[in-house]
Amino acid sequence: MTTTNSTTTIVDVLQSELPGRVDTDPVLLHTMTADRSGHRSAGSPLAVVHAGCIEDVQAVCRIASGHRVPVVTRGAGTGLAGGAIASPGEIVLSLAGMTRILEISTGNRLAVVEPGIINGDLNRVLAGHDLWWAPDPASKDISTVGGNIAMNAGGLLCAKYGVTREAVLALKVVLADGRLITVGHRTVKGVTGFDVCALMIGSEGTLGIIVEATLKLQPLVAGEVATVGGFFDSVEDAAAAASAITAQGLVPSIMELMDGRTIAAMERFAGDAVFGGAGAFLLVQCDGPAAQDTAERVTALATAAGGRVETTTDPDESDRLVGLRRNAFPALEAMGTMLVEDMAVPRDRMADAFAAIRRIEEKYDVAIPSTCHAGDGNLHPSFVYTGDTVPDNVWAAAGEMFRTALDFGGTLSGEHGIGLLKRAWLRDELGDDQYELQRGIKELFDPLGLLNPGKVFVPQE
Query: For the residues of 340-366, what is the DSSP string, one character each?
Result: E--EE--GGGHHHHHHHHHHHHHHHT-
Average pLDDT for 5-9: 59
Q: CA angle at residue 373 from 369 to 376, to 5 degrees?
A: 135
Classify 329 as helix, strand or coil.
helix
**CATH number for the domain harbouring residue 353:** 3.40.462.10
Which pLDDT band, with edges at 50, 70 and 90, does 4 fall under?
low
Residues 239 and 344 in one domain: yes
**CATH number for the domain harbouring residue 36:** 3.30.43.10
Residue 208: what pLDDT?
Answer: 98
Domain that holds residue 341: 226-407
Residue 223: what pLDDT?
Answer: 86
Tell me how far CA of residue 401 lies from CA of 30, 358, 359, in angstroms.
32, 10, 10
Select from 378, 422, 377 the least CA-distant residue to 403.
422
Average pLDDT for 68-90: 96
Q: How far apart are CA 174 and CA 207, in angstroms?
A: 9
Mean pLDDT of the chain: 93
Select from 421, 414, 422 the least CA-distant residue to 163.
414
Average pLDDT for 132-143: 91
Residues 166 and 183 in one domain: yes
Which pLDDT band, with edges at 50, 70 and 90, does 460 fall under?
confident
Looking at per-residue pLDDT, the higher value among 1 and 104 belongs to: 104
Choose one of 57, 75, 94: the last residue of a domain.
94
Residues 133 and 276 in one domain: no
- In angstroms, the first-to-last Cα distance of the chain is 22
Per-residue pLDDT at 364 exceeds 50: yes
Residue 159: what pLDDT?
Answer: 87
Q: How far apart are CA 112 and CA 443, in angstroms?
A: 29
Residue 6: what pLDDT?
Answer: 41
Q: What is the DSSP string of 108-139?
A: TTEEEE-TTSBHHHHHHHHHTTTEE---B-TT
Residue type, 391: P
Residues 134 and 281 in one domain: no
- If phi > 0 it is left, if psi is from -120 to 50 it is alpha, else beta; for residue 166 that is alpha
Pure H helices in 165-259: 196-200, 235-247
Residues 369 and 398 in one domain: yes
Select from 421, 371, 372 the least CA-distant residue to 399.
421
Query: Which run of H or of E encompasses 26?
Result: helix 26-31
| Window from 248-252, 328-332, 367-371 with minimum mean pLDDT | 328-332
Helix axis angle for 432-445 and 423-430, nearest 10°, is 120
Residues 308 and 333 in one domain: yes
Average pLDDT for 359-382: 94
Q: How far apart are CA 270 and CA 283, in angstroms?
A: 17
Residue 286: inside a domain, yes or no?
Answer: yes
Average pLDDT for 433-449: 98
Query: Which run of H or of E encompasses 181?
Result: strand 180-184
**Are 382 and 341 within 8 A, CB to CB?**
yes
Average pLDDT for 178-198: 96
Residues 237 and 383 in one domain: yes
| Window from 23-37, 65-79, 270-284 with minimum mean pLDDT | 270-284
DSSP 459: P
Q: Which residues of 276-290 are buried (b: 16+ CB within 10 A; e: fewer)?
A: eebbbbbbbbbbeee
* Number of domains the chain is built from: 3
Residue 2: what pLDDT?
Answer: 52
Average pLDDT for 67-86: 95
Choose one of 166, 195, 219: the last residue of a domain.
219
Q: Could you tell me how far CA 17 lies from the centroid of its own chain?
A: 34
Q: How far apart are CA 114 and CA 122, in angstroms?
A: 11
Residues 260 and 120 in one domain: no
Residues 132 and 74 in one domain: no
Tell me how far CA of residue 416 lies from CA of 151, 211, 280, 371, 430, in angstroms.
6, 21, 24, 14, 17
Residues 205 and 231 in one domain: no
Tell me how far CA of residue 144 lies from CA of 96, 105, 350, in angstroms.
8, 21, 30
Average pLDDT for 28-49: 94
Per-residue pLDDT at 339 exceeds 90: no
Residue 187: inside a domain, yes or no?
Answer: yes
Per-residue pLDDT at 321 exceeds 90: no
**CATH number for the domain harbouring residue 150:** 3.30.465.10
Residue 22: inside a domain, yes or no?
Answer: yes
Residue 428: inside a domain, yes or no?
Answer: no
Q: How far apart are CA 265 and CA 41, in angstroms?
A: 29
Residues 79 and 140 in one domain: no
pLDDT digits (tens, 9 = 90+) for 266-295: 888 888 787 888 999 999 999 999 999 999
pLDDT digits (tens, 9 = 90+) for 225-236: 999 999 999 999
Query: Which run of H or of E encompasses 15?
Result: helix 10-17
Residue 8: what pLDDT?
Answer: 66
Average pLDDT for 206-230: 95
Task: Give the count of alpha carbons within 13 A of 294, CB side only.
Answer: 23
Residue 434: inside a domain, yes or no?
Answer: no
Average pLDDT for 344-366: 94
Choose one of 94, 115, 145: the last residue of a domain.
94
Residue 273: what pLDDT?
Answer: 83
Average pLDDT for 305-330: 87
DSSP 103: E
Q: Could you tell me how far CA 419 lies from the centroid of its own chain?
A: 11
Q: Which residues of 379-413 are buried (b: 16+ CB within 10 A; e: fewer)?
A: bbbbbbbeeeebbeebeebbeebbebbbebebbbb
Q: What is the DSSP string of 394-444?
A: HHHHHHHHHHHHHHTT-BS-SSS--TTTSHHHHHHHH-HHHHHHHHHHHHH
Residues 66 and 167 in one domain: no
Classify 305 as helix, strand or coil.
coil
Per-residue pLDDT at 1 exceeds 50: no
pLDDT digits (tens, 9 = 90+) for 152-180: 999 889 889 999 999 999 999 999 999 99
Residues of the chain with pLDDT > 70, as a percent, come to 98
